[in-house]
Amino acid sequence: MGRFDNKVVLVTGGAGGLGRATVLAFAAEGASIVFSYHSSAREAVDEVCAQAQSLGAAIEPCRADIAQSADVTALVEAAMARFGRIDILVNSAGLSRDDAFLSLTEEAFDEVIAVNLKGPFLVSQAVGRHMVAQEYGRIINISATTAIVARAGNANYTAAKAGLNMLTQSMAIELGPHVTVNAVGLGFVDSPLVRTLFSEEALQEAESSVPVKRMTSYEETASFILMLASDECSFMTGQTIPFDGGRVMR
């Protein structure tokens, strides 16, 4: 018996990175899963499906641009057609287009806001209608500690994630009492993306600056997401929890 037997999970951005780890973590715990992907290669999509199926999970991939309402409608309709309900939503899809503030283009600003803020709004609204009707739901948004403590060259991403934190609170107020909404404020995740964005020196400094003296992993973060999605956390809502090794302490 898994913690999420008979639960249906929708994960955005499920073909790579944290989304992929989250899909597989839910698969190992008995959930049925729908995941969206946009720019991921078909080989990556097929690999996630094969791994989830090897764990015994029913899984449905769906190509969608979450910043487009028509794609979001099709995504949610596909989930409902396959499984008849959506119990858990993880808004994991994200995008970075870093640049110095005075060099940041309007296109880069709009693109990051669209994926990191508008996308979670559209998907959560479409899924939230079903969750409210069925009187059960868990929504987990993937935010970042840079929404609390900004860094240079990150204005579009920081603004999007700060907006997502407030969207989390607004959703929690309006979708309760049967639907909870929380966010995970990610710190440094040891991943190919992070090692591309930051120098080795910067990463060593990041590790030394937190009490646990290390970065996290996609798999460890996925385990935390599953905890937030479980019924053990049914009394928690409207929170953005820093998952950052103690980098941000309020």
Which domains are seen in the chain, by residue range?
A: 8-190+218-239 (3.40.50.720)
Q: What pLDDT is attached to residue 127?
A: 98
Eight-state DSSP code of residue 101? G
* Tens-place pLDDT, residues 197-216: 788 888 888 888 889 999 89
pLDDT at residue 250 tops 60 = no
Question: In Å, what is the CA distance from 186 to each residue of 81, 82, 102, 118, 238?
Answer: 33, 32, 26, 19, 16
Percent residues over pLDDT 90 in the chain: 82
Specify whether the CB–CB gap between 40 and 16 falls below 8 A: yes
* Tens-place pLDDT, residues 120-171: 999 999 999 999 999 999 999 999 998 988 888 899 999 999 999 999 999 9
- Across 102-117, average pLDDT: 97
Burial 10-38 (b: 16+ CB within 10 A, else e): bbbbbbbbbbbbbbbbbbbbbbbbbbbbb
Q: Which distant-in-sequence residues (6+ apart) come within 8 Å of 133 by Cβ?
A: none
Q: What pLDDT is attached to residue 13?
A: 97
CA distance 159 to 166: 11
- Across 219-246, average pLDDT: 96
Q: Mapping DSSP to helix (H, G, I), strand (E, B) and coil, where does residue 2 land?
A: coil
Active-site residue flag, 37? no
What's the pLDDT band for 44 if we cut at 50, 70, 90? very high
CA distance 93 to 154: 17
Name residue, tokens 């008849």: 84
Eight-state DSSP code of residue 117? I
Q: What pLDDT is attached to residue 247?
A: 86
- Across 106-114, average pLDDT: 97
CB-facing half-sphere around the CA of 205: CA atoms within 13 A: 5
pLDDT at residue 102 tops 70 = yes
Percent residues over pLDDT 70 in the chain: 100
Segments in 114-176 forming alpha helices (H) = 119-134, 155-175
